Every structure is written in C-alpha cells, then in structure tokens.
Chains A and B, each alone.
Chain A
Amino acid sequence: MSRVVSMRLREEEADRLLKLSRRLRRSVSETAALLITEKLRGVEFPLIEFRGSPLGRQAYVKGTSLAVWEVVLVARQLGMDARRVAEHLEWQEERVQAALNYAEAYPEEAEPFVSEAEGVTFERMERRLPWLERVSV
C-alpha cells in the first residue's frame, strides 16, 4: 500500500535528485521515496545507514564494513547473543544490538541474504561455478 505525496524542492535539490536517480537507474519518484524511507529508518535506528553495494542498496552498521544481514549471520551462529557477537567482532555491543533490532523490524530485508548464505553448499555453488573443486583437509 502506498500513497502519493507531493513536495516542493529547491531547483538545486531537484537537479541533484534527478542526477542521483540516473545513477541509481530509478525514476525520480522511486529515488525520492528511497531517500525518504532510508532517512526515516536512519532516524529510527541511528546506528544504521544505507549504502550501495554489489547486492544493491543495503542497511549497514555505521562505522563498520558489515551489512545488517552479515551481523545476523554471525549472530545466528552465536545464539543471537549480542554480547558474544560484539566480543567476536570486537565491536561495541550497541552496534550489534542495533543491527539485530533493525533486522527484527525489517526481516524481509536481511532474511533472504542470511538464508542464502546459510544454504550454500558445494552442489549449489558448483551450478554457478562448474570448475569449482571440493576440498576437505
């Protein structure tokens, strides 16, 4: 469900929005909606920011190189214990908790990436890379 909201921008800001929409290969409307959504989420979760990545725009933990879904991937292996994850990553626990809180609020974002990463097997990877070699030492 979405609603049309009109807004007035200064000429300069409108030009920048147009340029960004071209770079993101989205319409101006989509780009404006994306920016507003990301900003609103950033207000709600101050330790989360959004960055472009090879997987598209994603939520990252500020000041780190990890996307939210990557923190969740680690957390799942450590019993979803923010303290253990923080120790493992050598982060402040607040950062880990912020990622887990964000993932809980927007599970549709992190879950597909976490599931795919957890489901990686030699057989599935070999379909993408036929020259892949299995090794066990």
Chain B
Amino acid sequence: MHTVPEVLRSFAESGEEHGGVVLVSARPFRQDDVGSLVDTLGRLRALLEQVGPRNRVLFLERPATFL
C-alpha cells in the first residue's frame, strides 16, 4: 500500500499496461484468516472472469456480512 500506488501512477502516466491489480487493506482481513481471504479472492476471480482484469486497479473490501 505504500509503494504500489506510485508504481501504478507511473504505469498510467507512461501508458504502460498491466494485468490488473487488487489492493487489499490490512484491516478487514486478519493476517491469519487466510481461508476468508482465499474464499473472497475466489469469488473475485469469478467476477473478473466476466469483466476482465486488464489494467484495472481494484480495492477489495470485505462484505459487511463478514465483518
């Protein structure tokens, strides 16, 4: 979260393409709750297969029902 945004900005400014980036905040996903994170990423993958991830920058939030 400290450095990736700057990399993405430079990509955008130079027109460089990327395969898609998902930013995940440290707060809603407990570090040792790998199962929930994997489960969420699995559902996100299904969504991205529909819309296509290329050059997208997503901020993944946990559904309120999981908080």
Q: Does any Cβ of A come within 8 Å of B56's Cβ?
A: yes
Interface centre among A55, A78, A120, A137 (most CB of B within 10 A): A137
Task: Give residues 31-67 of B contacting A (CB, 8 Å).
Answer: 31-32, 40, 43-44, 46-47, 56-63
Chain A residue nearest to B30 (CB atoms) is A77
A-B contacts at CB below 8 angstroms, number: 75
Nearest B-chain residue to A114, judged by Cβ: B26
Which residues of A come within 8 Å of B, CB atoms? Answer: 54-55, 73-74, 77-78, 84, 88, 113, 116-118, 120-122, 125-126, 128-129, 131-137
Say yes or no: B56 contacts A133, CB within 8 Å.
Answer: yes
* Contact between chains at B60 and A135 (CB < 8 Å): yes
Inter-subunit contact A136/B57 (CB<8 Å): no
The secondary structure that dominates the B interface is: mixed
Residues of chain B lying within 8 A (CB to CB) of residue A133: 56-59
Q: Which residues of B contact A120 (CB under 8 A)?
A: 1, 23, 25-27
Q: How many residues on the B side are at the interface (Cβ–Cβ under 8 A)? A: 29
- B62 near A136 with CB under 8 A, answer yes
Chain A positions within 8 Å of B30 at CB level: 77-78
**CB–CB A129/B8 < 8 A:** yes
Q: How close is A74's CB to chain B, nearest CB, in angstroms?
A: 5
A135 close to B61 (CB less than 8 A): yes
B31 cross-chain contacts in A, Cβ below 8 A = 74, 77-78, 88
Asked if A135 and B59 sit within 8 Å, CB to CB, the answer is yes
